[in-house]
Amino acid sequence: MADVVVEQGRLARAARPRKKSASLRHVMGRKSTVAFFLTLPLILLIALLVLYPAFYSLYLATLNKAMTKFVGLSNFTFLFKRETFWMVVKQSCIFAVTAVIFKALIGFIVAHFVHNIPGKKQRKWRGMLLVPWVIPPAMSTLAWLWLFDPSYSAFNYTLSFFGVGPIPWLGDAFWARFSVILVNVWYGAPFFLIMYLAALKSVPDQLYEAASIDGANWWQKIWHITLPMMRNIIAITTLFSLIVTFANFDIVRILTSGGPLDQTHLFATWAFQVGIQSSDIPLGACVSLFMVPILAVAAVFILRDVNKRGNEA
Amino acid sequence: MSTLAIDKAGPSRKVKLGSMSRDRTWALRWSYFFLVLFAIFFLTPPVYMLITSLKSSAEISAATNPWWVFHPTLANYVELLTSNQFLRFFWNSAMISITVVIVTMLISIPAAFALARMKFWGSATLATGVFLTYLIPDSLLFIPLFKMLAVVQEFTGITLLNRWYVLVFIYPTLTVPFCTWIMIGYFASIPKELDEAALIDGASWLQTLTRIFIPVALPGLIAATIFAFTVSWAQFLYPLVFTTSIDQLVLPVGITTTLIKGDVFNWGQIMTGALLGAAPPLIIYAFLMDYYIAGLTAGATKG
């Protein structure tokens, strides 16, 4: 019906004086100009403050510390010879992969529990469980720092009742790595929870009903219905979180500042320490550039998935 | 169909149904049990912030049960809310976040409108580029940006480093790409007939945008606004790098650098500051939860 009305409107318009249709065509012709001006601020912002700095950092990475001389790739070769650098590479990968796996697992499990809760109560639970994601990470990490305090740790106080000795949460390399991952999982799991919950809601109930009539158990339902239906969201969320976790700065900076003995440094925190605190900008730029390959791979896969979704819709 | 099948199944069916509903009750009980466990895990830090913020320094150093307040006091709140320094941090954060929200909207709404409705040369590439920009993290750009600001400052004589207003120019790089991206999704979902009708009635592009697109896509707009505000409020790395003087700091950096003095940690005040810093996003979240979640999930579902 609506189409017919619009069509009639178009016909009526076309039938009217020539002048008007000519000016309309003129507007259409001008459309690309209008569009260009509407997107100009966006293009300028991205070009000046994202693309330019990205390439500028490539240039910076080839200078000496005083930034007076071009030294080619010697910053990179210098990094390759440093033990700390390889430690940072290793720790960044351990941190990102472990944290993302646990975030995804916890998010997936909790999403199912929340999905089981009926109606109004579900809203309340969902609201409560998303709180870690809402608090600015710098603020919540301070609370964790206090929970991990060497002499007043509330965790150690509680554990002492179970006869578990005081744990050096941030003092020992293993526990410090555990702690930064724990805080990151705590902060990021709610994001997965919300995404997976939205995905779960989009799976038609009939599929589960049909499966239970066919005698499928809960594991078969998850494996053959839930996971295939959610595959796209799981992929996008995981890849996106991989990027964000890999580039994480706040948590490690506040919790350990990279210590003990640089054992918890990630690319971002080490680049900050080298580039800003020790004012070796080229070397810092060099360190942060090492994030690019992994980010690029994840970005390519995300883009593929997003485009696929776009085509389906 | 299904009722027919159930009728056919006869008496044995009843037992099965009973076990299924019993299964469901048990599933619900287990769900509640585990949800309580996870809720404890998720809510411990914020609750602990609140507990500590109500304690005096004497009570904290006495190392009594950390999970309980024996002599609640609001002294920490009074002290922080009357301290010019803390209020300055709060003011800086608020000014920056509000300005960034406005700048973000001014840039991303027109751009999203153009990208969603006007097919022009390179529009598809630009939309993809916007999404890619969103994936570039701040920790990749802070060093070149720092050097860029220093160079510009040297050439023009305008002080850029160590000034809070420079953050107003930098933060949109974090907010604009995502806001544009989700606004494209919302605008694209508006039926074409609506703006075609407006154009036929003689409305200009600007009128179509302000009279039709913005009102219809208002939920998306609110979600984008919330996103831009919370991102600018929580940003930690850029202000840490670009500002150093106490009067130029924003809240997250101010609390971590000034309240932690050497080895003396005034935990009561730190936790109070952290809680007050977390309050604006939490309050927005409490009142606009659905928009908040819509914005969060829009990135993946509105492809």
Instruction: Give the 3-state DSSP-derived string for A180-215, with helices as H, strands as E and coil as C.
Output: HHHHHHHHHHHHHHHHHHHHHHCCCHHHHHHHHHCC
Is A302 in contact with B135 (Cβ distance < 8 A)?
A: yes
Q: Does B111 touch chain A (CB under 8 A)?
A: yes
Residue A6 has pLDDT above 70, yes or no: no
Instruction: Tell which of B21, B41, B42, B235 to mutate to test the A interface (max A CBs under 10 Å).
Output: B42
- Contact status, residue B242 vs residue B161, Cβ threshold 8 Å: yes
Min Cα separation B277/chain A (Å)? 7
Which residues in chain B come in under a pLDDT of 50?
1-16, 301-303
**Rounded to whole angstroms, how far apart are CA atoms B120 and A135?**
40
pLDDT of amino acid A186: 93
Identify the pLDDT of residue B262. Answer: 60
- Separation of alpha carbons A57 and B297, rounded Å: 32
For residue B230, give the nearest of B141, B273, B293 by alpha carbon: B293
CB count in 10 Å sphere of residue A55: 10
| Alpha carbon distance, N-terminus to C-terminus of chain A | 24
DSSP-assigned letters across all residues of A238-250: HHHHHHHHHT--H
Angstrom distance (rounded) from CA A51 to CA A58: 11
Asked whether residue A298 carries a pLDDT value surpassing 90, the answer given is no
CA distance A221 to A211: 7
pLDDT bracket for residue A184 (50, 70, 90)? very high
What is the total residue count of chain B? 303
| Cβ–Cβ gap B271/A233 under 8 Å | no
| pLDDT tens digits, one per residue of B191-248 | 888 888 888 888 887 888 888 888 888 888 888 898 899 889 989 989 988 888 877 8
CA distance A106 to B38: 9
CB A135 within 8 A of CB A142: no
Kindly state whether B193 is in contact with chain A, defined as any CB-CB distance less than 8 angstroms. Answer: yes
CA–CA distances in Å: residue A176 to residues A244, B68, B168? 20, 27, 35
Q: Which helix (H) or strand (E) holds A252?
A: helix A250-255
The predicted model gives A274-303 an average pLDDT of: 83
Which one, of B100, B145, B95, lies nearest residue B247 by Cα? Answer: B95
The Cα of B111 is separated from the nearest Cα of chain A by a number of Å equal to: 4
* Chain B touched by A188 (CB under 8 Å): no
Beta bridge partners of A70: A63
pLDDT, residue A25, reads: 54
Instruction: Please tell me what DSSP assigns to residue B264.
Output: E
Question: Could you tell me the pLDDT band of residue A30, with boundaries at 50, 70 and 90?
Answer: low
Tokens of A149: 């305090």
The answer to whether residue A174 scores a pLDDT higher than 80 is yes
Asked if residue A41 lies in contact with residue B180, where contact means CB atoms within 8 angstroms, the answer is: no
- Per-residue pLDDT at A21: 54
Residue of B nearest to A121 (CA): B32
pLDDT, residue B98, reads 93
Alpha-carbon gap, residue B286 to B294, rounded angstroms: 14
- State whether residue B292 sits within 8 Å of chain A by CB: yes
Q: What pLDDT does residue A50 have?
A: 87
What's the confidence (pLDDT) of residue A309?
56
Higher pLDDT, residue A27 or B152: B152
Classify each residue of B194-225 as buried b or exposed e, where b means 16 or more C-beta atoms within 10 Å of its C-beta: ebebbbeeebebeebbeebbbebbeebbbbbb
Distance CA A112, CA A123 (A): 14
Strand B260-261 to strand B264-265: parallel, antiparallel, or no bridges (unpaired)?
antiparallel
Rounded CA separation A191/A197 (Å): 10
CA torsion angle A191 A193 A195 A196 (round to 10): 150
Residue B172 corresponds to which tokens in the numbers above?
Answer: 């949109």
Higher-pLDDT residue of A189, B131: A189
* Mean pLDDT along residues A231-237: 81
Q: Which helix (H) or strand (E) holds A257?
A: none
pLDDT category of residue A13 using cuts at 50, 70 and 90:
very low
Indicate the residue of A13, A198, A299 with minimum beta-carbon distance to B301. Answer: A198
CA distance A71 to A62: 6
- pTM of the predicted model as reported, rounded to 2 decimal places: 0.82
pLDDT of residue B263: 62
Q: Give the residue among A57, A42, A76, A68 at the shortest CA–CA distance from B129.
A: A42
Least confident among A43-47, A304-308, B129-133, B197-201: A304-308
Please tell me the predicted confidence (pLDDT) of residue A301.
80
B155 to chain A, any CB pair closer than 8 A? The answer is no
The pLDDT of residue A129 = 87
- Rg over alpha carbons for chain B, rounded to the nearest Å, is 26
Q: At A102, is the pLDDT very low, low, confident or very high (cuts 50, 70, 90)?
A: very high
Instruction: Out of A50, A152, A268, name the one closest to residue B63 (CB).
Output: A152
pLDDT at A27 over 50: yes
CB atoms B282 and A134 under 8 Å: yes
User: For chain A, what is the mean pLDDT?
Assistant: 80
Q: Which of A12-21, A22-31, A105-114, A287-296 is the least confident region?
A: A12-21
Nearest to B5 by CA among A216, A78, A162, A212: A212
> How far apart are the C-alpha atoms of A145 and B133, rounded to whole Å?
32
Tokens 């995502």 sit at which residue?
B178
Q: What is the pLDDT of residue A7?
A: 42
**Confidence at residue B293, expressed as pLDDT on a 0 to 100 scale:** 80
Q: In DSSP terms, which residues pair with B261 in a beta bridge?
A: B264
Instruction: Tell which B residues from 211 to 230 touch A, by Cβ distance under 8 Å.
Output: 230
Distances (CA, A) of A201 to A130, A198, A313, B95, B303: 17, 5, 18, 39, 18
Whether B190 contacts B212, CB under 8 Å: yes
Q: Are B259 and B33 in contact (CB under 8 A)?
A: no
Taking an 8 Å cut-off on Cβ atoms, the answer to whether A46 and B133 are in contact is yes
Query: For residue A98, what pLDDT band results from cuts at 50, 70 and 90?
Result: very high
| Cα dist from B194 to A30, B183, B197, B205, whole Å | 21, 17, 5, 13
Contact A241, A104 (CB under 8 A): yes
Can you read off the two tokens belonging to residue A190? 């709610």
- Rounded distance between C-alpha atoms, residue A138 and residue B149, angstroms: 25
Task: Identify any residues that bridge with B260 across adjacent strands, giving them in sequence order.
Answer: B265
Q: Please compute Rg for chain A using Cα positions.
A: 27
CB < 8 Å to B54, chain A:
none
Please report the pLDDT score of residue A28 as a whole number: 52
| CB-CB neighbours of A178 under 10 Å | 16
Cα separation, A60 vs B143, in Å, equals 9
Enumerate the residues of chain A whose CB falls inside 8 A of the CB of residue B241. 272, 276
3-state secondary structure of B163: coil
Q: Looking up tokens 């690019």, which residue turns up?
A: A292
Cα B60 from Cα B77, distance rounded (Å): 16
Q: Are B224 and B108 in contact (CB under 8 A)?
A: yes
For A48, B12, B104, B206, the CA distances from B9, given in Å and listed in that order, are 70, 7, 62, 64
